[in-house]
Structure 1
Amino acid sequence: MIIKSLVHSSKCKVCESDAHLCGVVDFNTSCDSKLPDHAVLPLTGIPIYYHRCENCGLLYTHAFDDWEFDDFKKYIYNDDYIKHDPDFLGVRPRNNAELVMSNFKPILKWNVLDYGGGDGQLANLLCEQGVKAVGWDPFHLNLELPQGKFELITSFEVFEHTPTPVATLLRLSVFWKKEGQFSFLH
C-alpha cells in the first residue's frame, strides 16, 4: 500500500484557499469508531494526515491522491467496509429515502440518479415508492454509467470520499438536466 507522504500545508481541493495540517489518524480508524456498534480494528501504524481549509472548512487528506481504482477497491471498498460503516446497510439508505421523498414534492414525475449510491439501496427504496430512480457507484454496483439526463441527482457521502471533489462534481454534472435539481449532502 502506497500512502502519499505528509504535506504540511496545501491548497484546498475545492476552493484553493490555504489549508493546514489539522490532525492524524491510523489507517484503520473509522470516522465513527467510537460508537459501540463499530468494529475496533488493530492499528496499522500507517498515519493518515488531514488538512482543514481556512476558507470553506473542507477536511481532507492527500494520503490517497495517487491511488488508482484498484487500490481503493482493495484497501477500502472491500468486504470489510461494512465493519467501518455499519449504517451503509439499511439505516442510511432508509433515512436518505425519507429525506428525499419529503423534500422533493414532484419527485414521482422525475428521473432520479443516486450518484455514488453504494449498493443501490436508496435507488431501490425510491423505486418502491414509485420513483424512476437508478443508482450508480463504481465500487459497489459495477454497472456502466447511466444514460440520459436526470431531474434530480443525489450524492450522499460521496465528496469526502474522493481525492478529486471538483473533478467528481464535473463528471456528475453531465447527467444533470438543466432545469432539474441537484442535491448532495454530507
Structure 2
Amino acid sequence: MKTLLDFSFKSGTGHPSDDEYKIGITQVTDELFLGGEEDVSEVFPQVQVWVDLRSEGAWNRIVEIPSHITYIRIPINDGDAARADQVFSKAKDIIELSIKAGEKVVLSCQAGISRSVVVAWWILAKQLCDAEKAWGILKLKRPAIEPDEAFFTFISQNILSIQGHKTTIST
C-alpha cells in the first residue's frame, strides 16, 4: 500500500466485516467507482487509487489494502457541514487529478450513500455540465443514495449551480 495522503486526526482499531451496509460497488464512469467500506475491496483489482471518506473511529472496518493501491484518507463525519467544503473539495481535486493521470479510482465512505455520493455527484455534474442529469444517473445506478441533509447547503452552492441547472433532490 502506498499512502499518498492521510488527513486523519486520530486512529482507531477498526472492526471486522459485517454485511449491515453491503450495497455493492457502483461504476459511476469508466474511471470512477463508488462503494461502502464493506464493498471497497471487491474493486481493488480494477483500480489504482482509493479515496476514503470514512469517519474517524474504532467502528471502521479493517480493510487490507493491496500494494498497488494508493490510499488517500480524508475523514469526515456524516453531517459535518463545517468541514464539507474543505474535505469534498480536496477529495474532488485528488480524484480529478488521478483520473487525468490515467488512474481508476474507488471513492468510499461507510455505506457509500452519503459523503462519497456528494463528491461523485459533483464530479459527474462537472463532466456532464448538468447537475440534474448527474443526479439521475447516480440514483439510477445506486438507488440507495441519500446525502445527509446537513450537506444540502454545500450541494446547493457547489453542485446544483453547475450550468445554472436548479433541481431538488428526492431520496
**Bigger fraction of residues in strand:** 1
> TM-score w.r.t. structure 2 length?
0.29
- Mark the structure with the bigger radius of gyration: 1
**Bigger fraction of residues in helix:** 2
Query: Which structure exhibits the higher relative contact order, with contacts defined as CA atoms closer than 8 Å and separated by 6 or more residues?
Result: 2
